[in-house]
Amino acid sequence: MPELRRRTLLSAIGVTATAGAVVTSQSSTASALSGGRGASYEGKVRDLLSRMTLEEKLGQLQQLPWSWDLNPGSGSTKEVEDAARAGRLGSVLSIFGAKTTNALQRLAVEESRLGIPLLFGLDVIHGFWTNFPIPLAQAASFDPEVTRTDAAVSAKEARSNGVHWTFSPMMDVTHEPRWGRIAEGSGEDPYLTARFAAAKVKGYQGSGYGAKETLAACAKHFVAYGGAEGGRDYNTVDVSESRLRNLYLPPFKAALDAGVATVMASFNTISGVPAHGNAHTLTDVLKKEWDFDGFVVSDWTGVQELIAHGFAEDGADAARLALNAGVDMEMTSTNLLTNGKQLLRSGTITQRRIDDAVTRVLRLKYALGLFDDPYVDESAAITEPSPDARRAARAAGSRSMVLLKNDGDVLPLKKSVNSLALVGPFADSADLLGTWVVPASAERFPAVKVLDAVREAAPDAKVTYARGVDPEGKDTGGIAEAVAVAKAADVTVVVVGEPAAMSGEASARSDISLPGDQEKLIAAVAGTGKPFVVVLVGGRPLTIGDWLDSAPAVLLAWHPGTEAGHALADVLFGEVNPGGKLPVSFPRTVGQIPIHYNHESTGRPFDANNKFTSKYLDLPPTPQFPFGFGLSYTTFELGTPTASRGSVRARALRSGDTVEVSVPVRNTGSRKGDEVVQLYVHDVAASITQPVRRLRGFERVTLDAGASTTVSFRLGADDLGFWTNDPSGRFLLEEGTFELFVGTASTAGARLTLKVT
């Protein structure tokens, strides 16, 4: 069987059954230190390490939490300050502010014995002062440049405020819309997620995070967190090696190839072994197979939670298991710091493994330039979103929106409209920032409200407003007023959806329809018989009830961030022609979950004329809206796709040869617009059953009315092969027939055949 092995396996040093494997990084194709610059620090790191006591080493592996509104000396931060002074602390999280970070840094640099600087981390996920759309929305742009820009703007703002390291990007592929954390990732597809993960890492880290405008990034959560059973956060994941490698691992590999500095372990188990104690994923795959020379941070109390998982006996056992599995730094809980000495004495952890972990941490501190300049210039701290940052967030917001329906061209609205009603719980709401917001930014820079932005965009129109219902509860008392304003207006925009608090961490929902009585509001507005548009805000796919039939137009806005209202008004009035596509399938009902385009073939694929095929009796087999779907105010036509050849030798592909697939695309409508051309592959017969389709290429193009272009993709071995169930990592490119689908959604009809011989 032809086989392609694509990894560098470094020899493990000091591997024993009880004490963890230590992997030294040599050359770094996947260097965490932006282009292999790590090598230049090795001498300095070794020298420093040779002067450190065991306590100081264990200290470097400890991260403690801060609270953003506290200052050193306030009393409640004494534990962190004492640890910094004593040289028993490597990093602090949830801290920012030039003054605050400098003051704390001074304790470590000027008062501790060796003066090793602290590393300051923060969840800068989709913005610091300037909030960009949530990551799931960004993925809907199908334009990795959107996420690169978010990261670059965020890095500049955060670094000037003393932050060195962000716990982002999150790259957990998931087929679970009930899972609140779907908002933080790029949806259901590993290829799309990988492209966005790489772009975001590059945006944060720039060409090297020693620069003052960059942040070290963190690929999280390693790994398979998106597979949580039932979508309940922190839940069990049972996954085969092939699914692990084909579905969950590719974005992490892409992040590593982009030079990501750190990796965070995930809260879930992976086939029975918690991710924080999982030597297979953390050491065998990440550190050995992928040659990762950065460090692994635990998630918040993730080491301690090995006890609750029923995996560790007590704190000492948890520390032993985590360190030996490959965790390098413990976030919040203090099991390694407390028990390290005793564990070392008993021989259940090794000095070598501790030194390896400390080396990884120090390497990053050197690469960040912290030993040369541990402080930030307080007078240069960015204190508010700049006009440029706002412009970028606004563009990202509108670029991420997805037009789901537009019967009779209700949209775009005319600015010359006489009267316009805005109704719904999110029409006059600032709850549009999304799940991860730096606390001070939410207070100081609330999202631009839709009502304000619409009034600004159409100053001559009479704009009326009624809330109708509240977002979560059952307060429907305002529906009559909403109906009255809708009746009196030429057109109504109904802004409904989920509050930000309903998505993100610990925010699973069992019912993912519009919360409360918002559907009643839509029905009441529909009852007026006047034209209306539904704008959906939220952090996940929603099940859209019968109201869909009654609504002439539906625009998915997600949580668009600081410039939410402006971004939405741009799309509503056609300043921006929507071109986003769904990065995740929208199920018809919760009972249909999991439903995703990249499901594997079954022996009895759906057949409407045969009861004994895979389906529900009471639902069509398709989702409400498929992956990759989205409309525009114009129309596009794809020509016949062609491939540079109909057959190719497996051997040639393995040595880097590619097949080019091209398709002409034309804007057939009357206004400029964007289309996302998508390429999917299907391996017709494989030794491991393959997904019915896999996205392997996409490109968002902008075309003037009547204009056309040709989009081309290159398919190589990576695109046609797959990982097997071999735990040591076996990538196969098998001979046989491949179907290629080219189109504007995952339902693309145009098909080509490629033979691999």
Residues identified as active-site = 299
Cα separation, 306 vs 278, in Å, equals 11
Q: Which is nearer to ligand NOJ, 93 or 512 (CB)?
A: 93
Q: How far apart are CA 172 and CA 299, in angstroms?
A: 14
Closest distance between ligand NOJ and the C-beta of residue 226, in Å?
12
Q: Based on CB atoms, which residue is closest to ligand NOJ, 436 or 698? A: 436
Q: Least distance from C-beta 271 to ligand NOJ, angstroms?
A: 20
Q: Smaller CB distance to ligand NOJ: residue 128 or 731?
A: 128
Q: Cβ 167 to ligand NOJ, closest distance in Å?
A: 3
Q: What residues pair up with 731 in beta bridges, in sequence order? A: 4, 723
Sheet holding 330-331, edge to edge: 165-166, 119-122, 91-93, 62-65, 330-331
Cα–Cα distance, 512 to 318 (Å, whole number): 36
Q: Interface residues for ligand NOJ in 211-270 (CB under 6 A)?
A: 220
The DSSP string of 173-199 is: --S-TTSGGGGGS--S-HHHHHHHHHH
Other CB atoms within 10 Å distance of the CB of residue 279: 17
Which residues on adjacent β-strands are paired with residue 402? 556
Contact track, ligand NOJ, 382-411, x by CB under 6 A: ------------------------------
Q: Tell me how far apart the 2 most distant CA atoms of the chain are, in Å.
A: 80
Q: CB-based contacts of 579: which residues, under 8 Å, 6+ apart?
A: 141, 399, 630, 632, 673, 674, 675, 676, 700, 702
Instruction: Check if the beta carbon of residue 435 is closer than 8 Å to that of residue 508.
Output: no
128 forms part of the interface with ligand NOJ (CB under 6 A): no
CA distances for 105 relative to 112, 160, 213, 376, 472, angstroms:
10, 15, 19, 10, 43
Tokens for 367, please give them.
Answer: 């690469």
Radius of gyration of the chain (CA): 26
Q: Which two tokens stand for residue 137?
A: 């929305």
Amino acid identity at 540: R
Query: At 223, phi and psi to the nearest 5?
Result: -160, 160
User: Which one, of 620, 617, 633, 720, lies nearest residue 675 by Cα?
Assistant: 633
Q: How far is the CB of 93 from ligand NOJ (least distance, A)?
A: 6
First to last CA, the chain: 12
- In this complex, which beta carbon is closest to ligand NOJ, that of residue 219 or of residue 571? 219
Which is nearer to ligand NOJ, 263 or 568 (by Cβ)? 263
We find the least distance from the C-beta atom of residue 434 to ligand NOJ, in angstroms, to be 14
Binds ligand NOJ by CB under 6 A, chosen from 41, 96, 222, 300: 300
Tell the smallest beta-carbon distance from residue 220 to ligand NOJ (Å): 6
Which helix (H) or strand (E) element contains residue 468?
Answer: none
Binding status of residue 167 toward ligand NOJ by CB under 6 A: yes
**Residue with the shortest CB distance to ligand NOJ:** 167
Among 505, 519, 657, 699, binds ligand NOJ (CB under 6 A): 505
Q: Which two tokens stand for residue 273?
A: 């072994």
Instruction: Provide the minimum distance between the beta carbon of 19 and ligand NOJ in the complex, in angstroms, as a whole number.
Output: 28
Pick the closer one to ligand NOJ by CB: 265 or 745: 265
- In the complex, least distance from residue 94 CB atom to ligand NOJ, rounded to whole angstroms: 6
One of 81, 123, 289, 431 touching ligand NOJ (CB under 6 A)? 123
Interface with ligand NOJ includes 299 (CB under 6 A)?
yes
Q: Which SS3 state, helix, strand or coil, does residue 372 take?
A: coil
- Closer residue to ligand NOJ in complex, CB, 150/563: 150
Distance of alpha carbon 509 from the chain centroid: 19
DSSP SS3 for 496? strand
Collapsed DSSP state (helix, strand, coil) of residue 458: coil
Site string for ligand NOJ, 202-221 (x = CB under 6 A): ------------------x-
Q: At what angle do helices 351-367 and 315-325 cross, to 10 degrees?
A: 70
Q: Is 43 exposed, middle or buried (0-12, 13-18, 19+ CB in 10 A)?
A: exposed
What is the nearest approach in angstroms of ligand NOJ to the Cβ of residue 740? 37
- To the nearest whole angstrom, how small is the minimum distance from the Cβ of residue 585 to ligand NOJ? 24
User: ω before 260 within 30° of 0 (cis)?
Assistant: no
Binding mask 70-99 for ligand NOJ (x = CB under 6 A): -----------------------x------
Query: Among residues 92 and 752, whose Cβ is nearest to ligand NOJ?
Result: 92
Which residues, 690 to 729, sit near ligand NOJ by CB under 6 A?
A: none
Backbone angles phi, psi at 600, to 5 degrees: -80, 160
**Which DSSP symbol is given to 687?**
S
CB nearer to ligand NOJ: pick between 157 and 305: 305
Neighbours of 235 (CB within 10 A): 17
- State which residue, 167 or 196, has the beta carbon closest to ligand NOJ: 167
Cα gap 170→472, rounded to integer Å: 27
In terms of CB distance, is 185 or 471 closer to ligand NOJ?
185
Distance of closest approach, residue 135 Cβ to ligand NOJ, in angstroms: 12
Which residues make up the interface to ligand NOJ (CB under 6 A)?
A: 93, 123, 167, 220, 299-300, 505
